[in-house]
Amino acid sequence: MVKSYLKYEHSKSFGIVASSTSNIIWTANDRSNTSAGHAIVAANEEVLTWDIKKGELLSRWRDENCSAQVTAIAQSKSDKDVFAIGYDDGSIRLWDSKIATTIVSFNGHRSTITILAFDQSGVRLASGSKDTDVIMWDLVAEVGQYKLRGHKDQITGLAFVEPQPEVSEDTADQAMVVEGAATSEGFLLTTGKDSLIKLWDLSSRHCIETHIAQTNGECWALGLTPDFSGAVTAGNSGEMKVWSLDTSGLITSQQQVDIPQSRHFLQDRGTLLRQGKDKATEIIFHPRRDYFTVHGSDKSVEIWRIRSESEIKKSLARKKKRRKEKLASKKGAEDEEMDVDGEQDEDPSKASVIESFAQHLIIRTGGKVRSVDWVLKHGHKGLQLLVGTTNNQLELYNITKEKSKSKQDDVPDYNRAMAVELPGHRADIRALALSSDDKMLATASNGSLKIWNVKTQSCIRTFECGYALCCAFLPGDKVVIVGTKGGEIELFDVASAQLLDNVSAHEGAVWSLQVHPDGRSVVTGSADKTAKFWNFHIVQEEVLGTTRTTPRLKLSQSRTLKVSDDILSLRFSPDAKLLAVALLDSTVKVFFTDSLKLYLNLYGHKLPVLNMDISYDSKLIVTCSADKNVRIWGLDFGDCHKALFAHQDSILQVAFVPHNQDGNGHHFFSASKDRTIKYWDGDKFEQIQRIDGHHGEIWALAMSRSGSFIVSASHDKSIRVWEETDEQIFLEEEREKEIEELYEKTLTSSLERDPDEDKDVEVAAATKQTVETLMAGERIAEALELGMADLHVMREWEEAKAANPNVGPPQRDPIFVYQGNISAEEYVMSVLRKIKASALHDALLVLPFATVPLLFTFLNLFALRSMNIPLTCRILFFMLKTHHNQIVSSRTMRVMLDGIRTNLRKSLKRQKDEMGYNIAALKVVGMQLRYNSVKDYLDENWENEDESQNVKKRTFVHVS
């Protein structure tokens, strides 16, 4: 009988506030006026919504089919509930934040999405990627319209430029104006790591301007003013370039055909220098006020202010006055020259960018900055900034102005108003420990120890500690012991949330500790080449200022074991007879616990053993090493049962299942730097399951006492719980599944080689072959074959019936009978309708040309019967565009196309007439309603007030 195993699956993840892979978005909470709003942040493959004020997790967006990390987030400008999320695998998903579900998913990029941008109307989405392409997505039709190529490195900035046309009587331009031109699709501004800034005309789909954005190598950020009049780009060495954008010229160019090549809409105005000299990664303009923020990867955010015209005039006047004084002090200076210079300088529009911009404030943050966003609270006049840092926290800063005594101007200042930091560690978790009842989890990192409730995933306690390397719950689950890099042992009381004791135990780092199976002592292993045994004692301590005493737990050293090298790991056998010690010299020494005499020497690993565990029956010991091998040894003779090449990188943790229910006592888990956990059978020496999910090195692993779940902690800052399910695993099936995954991966990557890649083409089709599109293509081909066979059967039956009316019905394929005896064309249409709109074009590309005549036969039937005309037209036009040369050169296809044209025109005319009739009827109904209803009340002053409210505040006037 084939042995089956139970599968472990991901059940929950916590401990992460915001991962540093993506930007953050602030969004208002419309239900409450007192709320500070919500933060939409990435958390590995999930998107989290945090209430900034309460520090509560409101919702968690996760697609079960996607395990890639979130790398970009954008919010729709028209519908605030719609968010576009870009992933590491090049896919994009649109989420509805109210119901936390995916609306539509797109797949067109070959690598990580770097930036996303919605247009003003919210019907188009532009995406930039590391594959150097920009793709324009139509959100209504749910398809990729086209791919813009031109950049030679990853896209770092995207912004739609959609200026509103102003009606003017002057048309002095001599360029030929196109009459009745269609409304423009607008323009797109892009920057890349290749240090270029490009302006694209989306109507003609080509690049109309290219400039070098940064002189020092790379351009990493782009910020566009809210009124589209200017932009700022930033790169290395603290350099920022200011650009003016001729919006009025862009509007007039939309209706012209012979624009001179020398005309530039984008002009370099000058360079500003940031205080920080690192790489600038983000520039964001305030939507309503004259400020913008820029930051790099250090612990600061710079806020710059755009000066008003009056301020620029004052500054120029001061400079002029100083220049006059200097020139007056020099003899032989001519007064006329001074006056001429002064008159020229007083024009604010010609002022330099140094005069136009002023550094307003530098905010020092609690960690390296990953992303920022402006907070726009209703009724709040001050500036607020939300900051996401790389050390797993969110901070909200108030920017205030303090009255200064010496100067008339107020001095800008800031304070940290709120933060979301408790639900996660600032540094990587290096040690995990579960309580004896599996209800509490202790996680230790550099500087903090946190206690979690495993069921609710909430943080119960947070303690400050040293650089923790190992930790454990003491019997009773009320005290946690921590070993640090400084050689100290710290005891923390969970109930009273205080530090009980701090012992300087070793001269080197405490790499490992374990509580004795009897619960009365603990052993610590250190880099000072000693293992020390500590007993627990309850000491009555006096309470200061009183005569009362209180019991307190203390540690007292009982024995010391000296070895020849640094101790990296140690482990008691469950029967407490043996103590295994792993040394830096790649050996494992096993001692008797009572006498500390050497029992066994385990040689075999080529690099140091990093962790080990002993089975429930004290018969097997498993060791894992930096040499990527797991070795299983017998504790009776010290023989190596098996050496397994287990992972692709150093193996950091191993853990046996702690009991023998269902005969799984010799099963164990291993966790590695290669981001995977593997489940092994220690008797058969076979891999049972590979568990993927983490996006970084897995530092720590903890096995529950019941064996029903395991907990892992990783460099991606997340703590994940993997639960045992009732689903059975058969080893042969698992191996087949792994081979299939590998095959599918290589298949899609071979299909992705783009024929247009070598050609210098600016615009290409937004296509990408995935397993989903391949399967959809196969389904279409299968449906066409079944449909054609059924058409032949039905035609023969009709011919026979014409000769003999008593002929019985034919034997059709069971699939048609099962679906209610539907016709062949209805079946083919149902298959086509089930394919997602975003995957349809790629699925049709899979079809060989031999199936195109079959498809056209059914398209003719669809047109004849007016079946889903929009889908029919879409398929027809796409196939004509794809196979144009072959179709034109085929006689039979031309006959088919004539038939399709006739039938399609009839159907379209019928639909057009219906739509015209319906629109006319709706107009009549509207007129009747207006005639019968009460007259609308209109205030004469209302229109004027509304106009005054909608006047846009001047921003960036002096740059253009």
**Range ranked top by mean pLDDT from 198-202, 547-551, 622-626:** 622-626
Q: Which two tokens stand for residue 624?
A: 């894992």
CB neighbour list of residue 225: distance below 8 Å, 6 or more residues apart: 231, 285, 955, 956, 959
Could you read off the pLDDT of 862-904 as tens digits, one per residue? Answer: 888 888 888 888 888 888 888 888 888 877 887 888 888 888 8
Q: What is the average per-residue pLDDT within 728-737? A: 86
DSSP conformation letters of 620-643? EEEEEETTSEEEEEETTT--EEEE
Q: DSSP label at 319?
A: H
Residues 438 and 705: beta-carbon distance below 8 Å: yes
Least confident span in 100-114, 403-417, 725-739: 403-417
**Which residue from 872, 879, 873 is spatially nearest to 893, judged by alpha carbons?**
879
Q: Is 16 helix (H, G, I), strand (E, B) or coil?
A: coil
Phi, psi of 447 (to 5 degrees): 105, -15
Distance CA 351, CA 89 (A): 46
- The band of 664, judged by pLDDT with boundaries at 50, 70 and 90, is confident
CB neighbour list of residue 506: distance below 8 Å, 6 or more residues apart: 487, 524, 526, 527, 528, 530, 532
Higher pLDDT among residues 188 and 312, named by residue: 188
What burial class does residue 908 get, using C-beta atoms within 10 Å of its C-beta: 0-12 exposed, 13-18 middle, 19+ buried?
A: middle
Contacts 24+ apart (CB under 8 A), 812-816: 813/786, 813/789, 815/786, 816/790
Residues 216 and 140: beta-carbon distance below 8 Å: no
Higher pLDDT among residues 369 and 326, named by residue: 369
- The band of 687, judged by pLDDT with boundaries at 50, 70 and 90, is very high
- pLDDT reading at 65 higher than 70: yes
Q: Which two tokens stand for residue 376?
A: 């726009």
Phi, psi of 897 (to 5 degrees): -65, -35
Q: Which two tokens stand for residue 239?
A: 């350099």
- pLDDT reading at 143 higher than 90: no
Question: Which pLDDT score, from 0 to 100, does residue 592 have?
Answer: 94
- The band of 472, judged by pLDDT with boundaries at 50, 70 and 90, is very high
Phi, psi of 352 (to 5 degrees): -70, 165
CB neighbour list of residue 475: distance below 8 Å, 6 or more residues apart: 436, 515, 519
- pLDDT reading at 539 higher than 90: no
**Average pLDDT value over all residues in the chain:** 85
Q: For residue 747, how many other CB atoms are within 10 A of its CB?
A: 13
- pLDDT reading at 371 higher than 70: yes
Distance CA 92, CA 127 (A): 9
Residues 484 and 469: beta-carbon distance below 8 Å: yes
- The band of 379, judged by pLDDT with boundaries at 50, 70 and 90, is low
How many residues are listed for the chain in this entry? Answer: 960
Query: Which residues sit opposite 134 in a β-bridge?
Result: 128, 148
Question: Which pLDDT score, from 0 to 100, does residue 691 have?
Answer: 92
Residue type for position 41 = V
